């Protein structure tokens, strides 16, 4: 799949502007899951601070739609490249600036969290950059 890498850089820059990320300067890693359907997008995630895991959301107060719009633009670029639109997007980063993005095209519940899997999912989503 040939997609311009600028999207990854721009998404990473926008994630770094998110309020929850800025408000927790000690974070070492983060993970955000975006659920995308036609006409709706939601996200949830975690900030990892040593052994502590803090629930977080990806939002920029002074530019509410910036990240969502960039993700939709990225989704269109992926669609043009491979003919499929992702239904979930996983963004993982560490404080050194490494970023990993993963897609789910078929299962809209792949990274969903609920009472039965919340603890397991927050560990499953923890970035491992080795």
Q: What does the domain layout of the chain look like in residue ranges?
A: 6-124
Query: What topology is assigned to 6-124 in CATH?
Result: 3.30.500
* Range 82-89 contact pairs with CB under 8 angstroms and sequence separation of 24 or more: 82/1, 85/36, 86/36, 87/35, 87/36, 87/37, 88/33, 88/34, 88/35, 88/36, 89/33, 89/34, 89/36
pLDDT in tens, the chain (130 residues): 678 899 999 999 999 999 999 999 999 999 999 999 988 999 999 999 999 999 999 999 999 899 999 999 999 999 999 999 999 999 999 999 999 999 999 999 999 988 999 999 999 999 998 7
Q: Is the pTM of this model over 0.85?
A: yes
């Amino acid at each position: 799949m040939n997609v311009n890498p600028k999207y990854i850089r721009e998404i990473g820059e926008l994630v770094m502007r998110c309020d929850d990320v800025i408000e927790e300067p000690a974070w070492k890693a983060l993970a955000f899951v975006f659920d995308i359907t036609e006409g709706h997008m939601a996200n949830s995630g975690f900030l990892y601070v040593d052994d502590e895991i803090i629930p977080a959301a990806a939002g920029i107060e002074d530019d509410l739609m910036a990240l969502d719009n960039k993700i939709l633009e990225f989704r269109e670029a992926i669609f043009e490249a491979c003919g499929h639109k992702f239904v979930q997007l996983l963004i993982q980063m560490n404080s050194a600036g490494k970023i990993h993005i993963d897609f789910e095209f078929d299962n809209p519940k792949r990274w969903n969290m609920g009472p039965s899997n919340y603890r397991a999912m927050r560990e499953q989503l923890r970035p491992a950059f080795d």
